[in-house]
Structure 1
């Protein structure tokens, strides 16, 4: 299968929002195209994230979204690989690996020290994929959340 990976822009909002909605549904969230679209539009307009799309058969079939962070011990920028999704019809074709590889390349291009990600313990696909792509499991930290 032929595909390309390219950086998304505001002109890709509708396609990106469709994939983002499916991604949220995967994580047991209610479908809400309009809110997801507004969320992504704000990220694009404010330069708050970078999104790369996997294009196959003339359409976006996967995406990765990266947010800028800073690493306190390395004293450098790093990227949070926040969202990674490939449409179910296009899985097992190497697109997730290609999107991760493009994210690693983005680190090189932007002078970042690396990528950080978190996934659910129940995400069997991700928990198998990430180590295969060179990510190391960090079993020494606990991650906590505070929501208002």
Structure 2
């Protein structure tokens, strides 16, 4: 059983290590200082919700990060579940499921109508988890990206 709770500033070191690992999973260079700065901004600005899971020893073993947003069409709140990561040693023990359940509960408590997420096409393990929790693949819309820093 994993305890899931809101992240606090005292979690910054453990959370930074996890976020750095998460970024490396997505083929980004390790940048622990950059990650720490980014998370410090999130805590300072309060512009995201970060939940952490703790293993049986009380160590932070995973996290989920949600960014609030709005839907013009739905005239309601819609949060983006942008990040989910569980340390390699805690995978397969229910931490990811516990974090996803806690994210849905938090959204309901805030009156959020819908959670949305994107994952890499190759990330089949995550897709199985999402679908087992009732998430549905969006086939009605295409997703586009624009890197505004490239000419």
> Normalising TM by the smaller chain, what interval?
over 0.9
Q: Give the 5 Å matches for 1:84-103.
A: 84-103=84-103
Match for residue 8 of structure 1?
A: 7
Whether contact under 8 Å (1:10, 1:45) holds in the other structure is no
Q: Which runs of 4+ in 1 moved over 6 A?
A: none
Q: Give the 5 Å matches for 1:7-86.
A: 7-56=6-55, 57-86=57-86
Q: Secondary structure, in 3 states, of the residue corresponding to 1:28?
A: coil
TM-score relative to the length of structure 1: 0.96
CA distance in 2, matches of 1:144, 1:25: 23
Whether contact under 8 Å (1:62, 1:87) holds in the other structure is yes
How many residue pairs end up in the alignment? Answer: 147
Match for residue 133 of structure 1?
A: 133
CA distance in 1, matches of 2:134, 2:72: 22
Q: 1:72: Cα distance to partner?
A: 2.2
- In the TM superposition, what whole-angstrom CA distance separates every residue of 1:47-87 from its partner, at most 9, and x where no partner exists? 11110000012210000000001122221112100000000
TM-score relative to the length of structure 2: 0.94
| Unmatched runs of 5 consecutive residues or more in structure 2 | none
Q: Secondary structure, in 3 states, of the residue corresponding to 1:77?
A: strand
